[in-house]
Copies of this chain bind each other. A is one copy, B any other.
Amino acid sequence: MFARVAQEDFSQQALYDELCAHDQRSRAGAIVTFTGRVRDYNHAGAIDGIELEYYPGMTEQALAQLIDKAVKRFSLTNAGIVHRVGRLANHEQIVWVGTCAAHRQDAFLAASFLMDMLKQSVPIWKKEWVGEQAHWVAAKGSDDDAAMRWLTEDKDS
């Protein structure tokens, strides 16, 4: 399992290899990866990249706890997450999530879960640049709803 905050870009192949090399039983039948990239627009028009602020110490810890939770909840054989911070240009990679499981449904659900919960519980804040101006992005209700889906299931069980 790994959970990292990084300034520098990451390699798809290196992360995939790291995920599979530490797969608990080397027998995962299913591997899902999610990659988030900077979109070149927002609801109002074109943007010129973003900037991500984080809380050193707490952010790493929150990512690690999230991975731990996903591994237990979905019986994963491994999982990893890397989130970049700092200034990122349009189309750059922001976040990578990888999950290994015996069966595909668990791997898909766990990767969705990680992204939904990340967007609600990990201390990272996004600014969007337009020319020389930067504006903080407001939290989205749809992200709360996505996370609520998992939290509600928790209560039911």
Which residues does A use to contact B, with CB under 8 Å?
A: 11-13, 16, 26-41, 91, 102, 104-105, 107-108, 111-112, 115, 146
Given A12-B16, A108-B111, verify A37-B32 contact (CB < 8 Å).
no
Q: Which residues of B contact A32 (CB under 8 A)?
A: 32-35, 111
Given A13-B13, A16-B12, verify A36-B29 contact (CB < 8 Å).
yes
Instruction: Tell me the minimal C-beta distance from A33 to chain B in angstroms.
Output: 5
**Complex-state Cα separation, A108 to B35, whole angstroms:** 11
Q: Which of B31, B35, B38, B146 contacts A34 (CB 8 A)?
A: B31
**Complex-state Cα separation, A39 to B102, whole angstroms:** 8
If A27-B39, A32-B35, A105-B146 are given as contacts, then 9 extra A-B residue pairs at C-beta distance below 8 Å, sorted by A number, are A30-B37, A31-B33, A31-B37, A32-B32, A32-B34, A34-B107, A34-B108, A39-B102, A108-B111
Inter-chain contact B115/A104, CB cutoff 8 Å: yes
Instruction: Tell me the minimal C-beta distance from A45 to chain B in angstroms.
Output: 13
Q: Which residues of B contact A108 (CB under 8 A)?
A: 34, 108, 111-112
Q: Which residues of B contact A146 (CB under 8 A)?
A: 105
Instruction: Tell me the minimal C-beta distance from A140 to chain B in angstroms.
Output: 11
Q: Which residues of B contact A39 (CB under 8 A)?
A: 27, 29, 102
Q: From A104, which residue of chain B is reached at the shortest CB distance?
A: B115
- What are 20 residue pairs bridging A and B, where the CB atoms are less than 8 Å apart in the complex? A11-B13, A12-B12, A13-B13, A26-B91, A27-B40, A27-B41, A29-B36, A30-B34, A30-B35, A30-B37, A31-B33, A31-B37, A32-B34, A32-B111, A33-B33, A34-B108, A39-B102, A104-B112, A104-B115, A108-B112
